[in-house]
Amino acid sequence: MSTELTLQSPLDMHLHLRDEEMLKLVAPLTAQTFAGALIMPNLVPPVTTKESALAYKQRINDAKKYSDFEPYVTLFFQEYNYDFLKEIKDDIIGIKLYPAGITTNSEGGVAAIDAEALRPTLEAMSELKIPLCIHGETNGFVMDREKEFVPVYEALAKEFPNLKIIMEHITTKDSVELLDKYDNLHATITLHHLLITLDDVAGGMLQPHLFCKPIAKRYEDRDALLKVALEAHPKVMFGSDSAPHPKHKKECCGCAAGVFTAPIALQVLAELFEEHGKLDNLEKFVSLNAQSVYEFTPVEKTITLIKQDCIVPEIYEGFGENVVPMYAGETLKWSLS
């Protein structure tokens, strides 16, 4: 049994840091254990210009507290011309497409994802090698939204074969099956979708801190995700989708969607991979695969975990904000060294 685990430059390729006081609270909780993270642009207003992207990156750097952490910022998808994208390509890592109204702060997203309508922007992105990150859900029945989006992924993959497409936070076996069908499709997988199903969210008493979008699915979906993650399939990478909301917005009528996993992600992943005898694959899943997919070299950073129990805080508080983590108050088997 391993008692110590060293990871080189772990990366979180799908992270929400919010802004203002919440940003100040949560940014250090990721920066402590990760060398870098791909940051979501769905602020209010969203990040759509070079000025707003650079300003947001600066606010993150001001808040992170750890110098060995690099925020990789993205743009909120809209129609962009080639000249603009050429100018900004070195300042961003990708562009995030949200279907309109599908998740938090996505009201300004794309109303209809049509290849012809989006062609000018997507062709420019293809030529400039800017990855397209997609929240892949329709507005259909909540359990079927990702499955219904599969034809959209297929159409885009076929129509724009040189465009690198990241299927964000996949939750179904249908999405897993797409990975080997198209060379230009890749995916991120969250911690919570490797662990929970809808039963954990709503099978007994409702668990608001496990409610997220995309919603957790069936056992067969979770098992399909777990299989490719544990194998460290080269086209999948860790993206926590850690999404902080204040406690009063989670434990209420009209509960906000989002699971906050940033402070415990590596510890829980170590336990999960060890449980399945795949601890040697964890670094590929949380670092090497992302470097290959996005073609970049992260900040050098070594994180050591030890086999020692630790209790997850009930709540993180500061700057007038608070957020409850997944597994609040529970004991984990791995700790930060």
Residues identified as active-site: 241
Kindly report the number of other CB atoms within 10 A of residue 303's CB atom: 19
165-167 and 132-134: which strand pairing? parallel
CA 277 to each of CA 1, 78, 260, 272: distance values in angstroms, whole numbers, following the listed order: 10, 43, 26, 9
Residue with tokens 């940003």: 23
CA 275 to each of CA 99, 226, 269, 281, 334: distance values in angstroms, whole numbers, following the listed order: 37, 12, 10, 12, 12
Which amino acid, 254? G
With contact defined as beta carbons under 8 Å apart, do 282 and 7 qualify?
yes
Please state the φ and ψ torsions of residue 134, each to the nearest 5 degrees. Answer: -125, 130
Per the rule left: phi > 0, alpha: psi between -120 and 50, beta: everything else, 254 is: left
